[in-house]
């Protein structure tokens, strides 16, 4: 049996659309509100600065995590693909291209483009910043608190 890595772009877009419509305060209370609205379940792992969630994405490890600093959400990262062996760059490149096109349908042209071995796109909105990255083993969507600049 041959393993085929998966991308769940529809689940990723659902999270993006929810984030765009969400009434963000960016404080810790948003973790439960956003996770509940997304249908995510908390995991036992984590601490006061990182809270891990299980998402409903159709991938091997459907996960997301909130990064907090002093009770303020800095960013939320959502896995869009299975984690794969780093040798599967063709899958990752294709998944990133597909995800990029679909996210651009929702957000328009990217504000920033980062080419290279780990390409990324960023969109800046007043209420939220969005980043899509091709990492070494996966593609991830990150929702950023606009007050917390990481670019």
Residue 68 and residue 23 share a domain = yes
In whole angstroms, what separates CA 98 from the centre of its chain?
15
Which whole number is the average pLDDT over 4-27? Answer: 96
Residues paired with residue 121 on neighbouring β-strands, in sequence order: 113, 132
Cβ atoms of 37 and 18 closer than 8 Å:
yes
pLDDT digits (tens, 9 = 90+) for 60-98: 999 999 999 999 999 999 999 999 988 889 999 999 999
User: In this prediction, what percent of the chain has a pLDDT beyond 90?
Assistant: 84
Residue 104 and residue 67 share a domain = no
Residue 48 and residue 100 share a domain = no
Domain that holds residue 57: 13-83
Which whole number is the average pLDDT over 114-131? Answer: 92
Residue 42 and residue 63 share a domain = yes
Strands 112-114 and 63-69: unpaired
Residue 70 and residue 18 share a domain = yes
Give, as one character, the DSSP assignment of residue 76: E
Residue 101 and residue 42 share a domain = no
Residue 78 and residue 43 share a domain = yes
Residue 71 and residue 35 share a domain = yes
38 versus 117: which is more confidently predicted?
A: 38
Distance (Å, whole) CA 60 – CA 32: 24
Residue 68 and residue 48 share a domain = yes
Number of domains in the chain: 2
């Amino acid at each position: 049996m041959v393993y085929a890595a998966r991308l769940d772009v529809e689940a990723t877009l659902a999270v993006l659309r929810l984030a765009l419509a969400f009434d963000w305060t960016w404080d810790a209370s948003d973790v439960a509100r956003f996770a509940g609205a997304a249908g995510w379940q908390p995991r036992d792992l984590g601490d006061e600065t990182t809270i891990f969630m299980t998402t409903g994405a159709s991938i091997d490890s459907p996960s997301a995590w909130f990064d907090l600093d002093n009770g303020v959400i800095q960013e939320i990262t959502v896995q869009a693909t299975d984690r794969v062996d780093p040798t599967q760059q063709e899958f990752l490149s294709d998944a990133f291209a597909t995800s990029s096109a679909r996210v651009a349908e929702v957000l328009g042209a990217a504000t920033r483009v980062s080419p290279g071995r780990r390409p990324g796109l960023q969109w800046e909105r007043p209420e939220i910043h969005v980043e899509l990255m091709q990492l070494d083993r996966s593609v991830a969507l990150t929702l950023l608190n606009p007050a917390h600049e990481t670019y």
